[in-house]
Structure 1
Amino acid sequence: MAYDPGAIDAALAAAVGDEPGLIAELRLAFTDGASRALTAMEAAQDEAAWTAAAARLRGLAASFGAVRLMALAAQAGEGAPRDPEALLRLRRAIARL
Structure 2
Amino acid sequence: MAFEYGAFSATLSAAAGEDSSLHAELRAAFRESLEQQVDLLSRARCDGNWVVAAQRIKGLAASFHAEPLMVLADEAVETAPGDPVVLRKLTAFIDDFDR
Q: Output the TM-score relative to the length of structure 2.
A: 0.90
Count of aligned residue pairs for this structure pair: 97
**Structure 1 match to 2:89:** 89
Counterparts of 1:36-51 in structure 2 under 5 Å?
36-51=36-51
**Structure 2 match to 1:58:** 58
How much has 1:6 moved relative to structure 2?
3.8
Aligned to 2:18, the other structure's residue is in SS state coil
Runs of 4+ in 1 over 6 A off after TM superposition: none
Quick one: which amino acid aligns to residue 84 of structure 1? P
Across the aligned residues of Structure 1 and Structure 2, the Cα RMSD in angstroms comes to: 1.5
Task: Select the structure with the greater relative contact order (CA < 8 A; seq sep ≥ 6).
Answer: 2
Cα distance change, pair 51–35 in 1 and its aligned pair in 2 (3 A):
same
Query: Residue 19 in 1 paired to residue 16 in 2?
Result: no
Aligned to 1:65, the other structure's residue is in SS state coil
**Structure 2 match to 1:5:** 5
How much has 1:2 moved relative to structure 2?
6.6
Quick one: which amino acid aligns to residue 48 of structure 1? G
2:69, 2:55 → 1: CA distance? Answer: 11
How much has 1:50 moved relative to structure 2?
0.1
Q: Output the TM-score relative to the length of structure 1.
A: 0.92
Which ranges of structure 2 fall in alignment gaps of 5 or more residues?
none
Quick one: which amino acid aligns to residue 72 of structure 2? L
How much has 1:93 moved relative to structure 2?
1.0
How much has 1:9 moved relative to structure 2?
2.1
- The answer to whether the 8 A contact 1:12-1:64 is kept is yes
How much has 1:35 moved relative to structure 2?
0.4
